[in-house]
Chain A
């Protein structure tokens, strides 16, 4: 009885998961297909299926600047700079904070640790108002720094709490031994703890990288031209004249592929970090 039931159950599992998978992949497939169609075929109804795939959209994305405020490659550079610097700064400040929370006992520790986590709830739209005015009066509009500092702050709660989980996995005995050897706090952190939590830091950094790579609202308001990031570029393919479908979808594929590849490769570490150490890789 058990075997037959299991058999039916397995069939059922496929019957549920495969349509679900197709449904989940459908928008992505549409993006890929549209990105290799000639611009004018992209939105034809009924949809055109027998087309000759072309990479013209990708080529023109990186070539001409006609009709666009900034070239897409320039926006990609901005995106890379902003998200990489954000990640590095976030990792440095976050690891330091996480180490303090994980290893030290001090007055107000409970409050500070709860508070760092609870800053997670502050919506970007809310903190945007004062930051918009501040950035304007400091004359920092359209600069990388105007994006990086808020992005670091937005990523800190998760960075601190993920890294805290990884630090707790490091046996205290090792650190105590180092302390006996006369290492200072920063030396212990740098020479003993960080090498041991590197994989965890990698996963954390991927999360921060993804978050800052994808951020839309701050980039929309605080950039104009020079510091404009790629997600804003995507939205700008929609103009009064219509939508440059081919280039828009090609650009979408270009900015999502690195994230997809990262996510697939680091998924185990990512889960480990996001479950705050409940699962070990």
Chain B
């Protein structure tokens, strides 16, 4: 009896394992047969003997890996060089990039780098300034086509003092960058910026328009200022219909600190939060005003869905996507679930404040930079690929896979493309306009922890753990400690 049970279990185990292995193996085989077919075809296309291979390390989720994958075969066809792409999710990618570079490994010729890591990497990535000066390259690269904000924030660094920002020009100016003592560490490939998706169907609904006009004496339009934003959010907040005005992302994580700096910038404060002397700059009256407004949205006016204090971009997207809010703020195109009947999404820029007669906005943005491993043996080949893949023509192709482009000309193409505007309405226009005025990050080592300290302060505020002033003071203190731990002496140049 006992023996029977045991035998049957053994058989069961074997059966289950075989099934999983078989089902899994089939799909794996398909994959490998595909890739071998690819390399076979490249072998015939590329002249000469063995195919040259460049290894590229990329991010899985945050920079539309499908977009870059879609153009790699073109490059192989054109040049005979195969680009082997490995992707890893965010934290893994960071660990891998840091470890590879710390070990001076030559394996990856190309790496995609997120802005917060740069401060630690300027001595390990290859400055491409010299390549860019080559007359042949200079003739075709069209650096001035890059959105200046994006270019200066992402890739222009001072090699010996990586925490400094270069002063920006209206157009990317290579000679000026060099004369300031800065270098260029790659070319930006994908920019993510905070935009404001909203429910166009709700804004266009005649009853809503009429009711809003009666109540506020103006047309119901996507808000441009934060005052308007509050009114619109209050107007749409109808908890018994399971509808709220907007989402926010004050959960602990990058998203929280990014929310904070966006609001601080719109109130005229320093959206970088830490200046180039490495001093925290955010315990100012502007910050207190901005955070009072932010906290009131959640706790006083309650124009956000319950649970907001735990939200990251994932939950914010889910809440908006399931029709719970009329507006949201996020870094990507949004989609609605099928139960949101007649839902249409359009995009507008994140509001600002009128200060001295001028609209002040500073949406947070961050860009993935395609950089070259200093220890790679294929510098020139790697540079050629970077130049090609970030070119206007190739970015236009990647647009079809939702790349967030970094060149002005690509935004012009996107806005003229009827297929894209039908799918995403004003997304690309909003994205391009927002990038032009976006605010990046401070350039410190230890960025992850510093950002978490800032986000923790914000989260404490909205969950009622201490006042705004107390939390700003304590988070500032913590940030200073972290900066010191990273080896800086805040206040000194």
Contact = CB atoms under 8 A, between A and B. Distances in A.
Find out whether A and B make contact in their complex, taking CB atoms under 8 A apart as touching: yes
Interface of A: 38, 40-41, 43-46, 48, 62-63, 65-69, 71, 73-74, 76-77, 80, 84, 136-137, 141, 198-199, 202, 220-221, 224-225, 236, 238-243, 258, 261-262, 265-266, 281
Contacts of B31: 65, 71, 74
B60 A69 contact: yes
A246 B311 CA distance: 21
B66 interface: yes
A281 B2 contact: yes
B27 A136 contact: no
Contact of A41 (B9, B25, B103, B338): B338
A80 B27 contact: no
Contacts of A67: 61, 65-66
Interface stretch (B91-99, B218-226, B373-381, B415-423): B91-99
Contacts of A77: 20-21, 24-25, 28
A40 B33 CA distance: 33
Contact of B28 (A41, A44, A74): A74
A141 B102 CA distance: 14
A240 B314 contact: yes
Interface string B316-354: 011001101000000110011111000000000000000
Contacts of B65: 67, 69
Give 7 nearest A-B pairs by CB, closest first: A40-B337, A73-B24, A69-B60, A239-B61, A242-B317, A40-B338, A77-B24
Contacts of A241: 61, 317, 332
Contact of B66 (A66, A199, A239, A261): A66
A219 to B, nearest CB: 11
A44 B323 CA distance: 9
A281 B9 CA distance: 15
Nearest to B99: A136
Interface string B74-94: 000000000000111100100
A32 to B, nearest CB: 19
B21 A80 contact: yes
Interface in B293-333: 313-314, 317-318, 321-322, 324, 331-332
B314 A198 contact: no
Interface of B is mostly: helix
B317 A44 contact: no
Contacts of A73: 23-24, 26-28
Contact of A136 (B17, B23, B103, B242): B103
B62 interface: yes
Interface residues of B, number: 47
B88 A202 contact: no
Given A202-B10, A238-B314, 18 more contacts: A40-B339, A44-B339, A48-B339, A69-B60, A73-B28, A74-B31, A76-B24, A202-B6, A221-B92, A224-B88, A224-B92, A240-B61, A240-B313, A242-B317, A243-B314, A261-B12, A262-B13, A266-B9
A236 B60 contact: yes
A43 B322 contact: yes
B191 to A, nearest CB: 14
A240 B99 contact: no
B16 interface: yes
Contacts of A38: 338
A137 B16 CA distance: 37
Contact of B95 (A69, A199, A221): A221
Contacts of B5: 265
Contacts of A40: 336-339
Interface of B: 2, 5-6, 9-10, 12-13, 16-17, 20-21, 23-28, 31, 60-62, 65-66, 86-89, 92, 95-96, 99, 103, 242, 313-314, 317-318, 321-322, 324, 331-332, 335-339
Contacts of A238: 314
A175 B317 CA distance: 66
A221 B12 CA distance: 32
Contacts of B66: 66-67
Given A43-B322, A69-B89, A265 B337 contact: no
Contact of B96 (A66, A224, A239): A224
B313 A258 contact: no
Contacts of A44: 322, 337, 339
A67 B59 CA distance: 11
14 contacts: A41-B337, A41-B339, A43-B318, A44-B339, A45-B242, A62-B23, A66-B66, A69-B88, A77-B25, A221-B92, A224-B96, A240-B313, A241-B332, A265-B9
B244 to A, nearest CB: 12
B337 A198 contact: no
Given A136-B99, A224-B92, A239-B314, A265 B27 contact: no
Contacts of B103: 136-137
Contacts of A62: 23, 27
Contacts of A43: 318, 322, 337
B152 to A, nearest CB: 24
Most buried by A among B20, B313, B314: B20
Contacts of A63: 27
Nearest to B17: A80
Most buried by A among B12, B89, B322: B89
B60 A258 contact: no
Contacts of A84: 17
A62 B30 CA distance: 12
Nearest to A65: B31
B20 A76 contact: yes
A45 B322 contact: yes
Contact of B87 (A69, A198, A240): A69
Contact of A258 (B6, B20, B28): B20
Contacts of A74: 24, 27-28, 31
A64 to B, nearest CB: 10
